[in-house]
Amino acid sequence: MFHYPVRRGRLVNPFAMPDLGRSLSVLLMSAEVQKISFAFGSVIVLPEGFRAVAEGLAAGDISVKLEPTRLEKEKSDAEYDADANAFSFRSNWVLTRPEGRGTAVHEASHAVADWRGRSTSIRSEEGAAYLAEALYHLNAGSEDHAEVPDVVLEVAHAVRAQPGHVSLSASQINGIRRAMMEEGYENGFYANDGF
Ligand SMILES: [Zn+2]
């Protein structure tokens, strides 16, 4: 016979699905994410931005949904849709793996850009999102799980060696933008209109 564990006098179902929105908020408020602070040209990624996204999740201004079929087809763990103000996840367990947490930080950086409410160059916003993902992995000690171009990881190490808010140099920005072009990102703009 199976006995459910009892914690603080309440029955705990060990098979219950984690609450993705809450888990994502906890990740965004963690020290590993709250240390991320840089300017990639006009794309500014600050701890306040991640906090605003966590608050947006708590307030229901940003929604979270599961889209296993579509995201499996796209081979993506997670996605943020700036029009719908919604995160999509491939499964309930994405945030239990370091790669999944890195992807979530990447997508949350797009939500930060949406919160700022300004259109951005696709290659700069993607470059900033990959850099945030790399910085998360360095802060969390999970660099081996970072799925980012080499140049992004190099710049992340350089950024992390400097204290406080770091403005990237023109050559760092150009190097990452070139990598984004090689990744297939177009030379257009993302429309961000807040959430
Ligand atoms: Zn992206």
Q: Per residue of the chain (195 residues), what is the pLDDT tens digit? A: 555 555 555 555 555 556 899 999 999 999 999 999 999 999 999 999 999 999 999 999 999 999 999 999 999 999 999 999 999 999 999 999 999 999 999 999 999 999 999 999 999 999 999 999 999 999 999 999 999 999 999 999 999 999 999 999 999 999 999 999 999 999 999 999 999
**What is the number of structural domains in the chain?**
1
Q: What is the chain's Cα-based Rg?
A: 17
Residue 19 Cα to ligand 1 midpoint, Å, equals 23
Residue 51 Cα to ligand 1 midpoint, Å, equals 19
Residue 3 within any structural domain of the chain: no
Residue 2 within any structural domain of the chain: no
Residue 119 within any structural domain of the chain: yes
Residue 166 within any structural domain of the chain: yes
Residue 127 Cα to ligand 1 midpoint, Å, equals 8
Q: Is 14 exposed, middle or buried (0-12, 13-18, 19+ CB in 10 A)?
A: exposed
Residue 151 within any structural domain of the chain: yes
Q: Is 87 exposed, middle or buried (0-12, 13-18, 19+ CB in 10 A)?
A: buried
Range of the domain at 163: 17-184
Q: Which residue has the tokens 């990598």?
A: 179
Residue 16 Cα to ligand 1 midpoint, Å, equals 30
Residue 47 within any structural domain of the chain: yes
Residue 4 Cα to ligand 1 midpoint, Å, equals 41
CA-to-CA distance for 49 and 27, rounded, in angstroms?
A: 13
Residue 60 Cα to ligand 1 midpoint, Å, equals 22
CA-to-CA distance for 176 and 115, rounded, in angstroms?
A: 23
Residue 150 Cα to ligand 1 midpoint, Å, equals 16
Residue 72 Cα to ligand 1 midpoint, Å, equals 16
Residue 8 within any structural domain of the chain: no
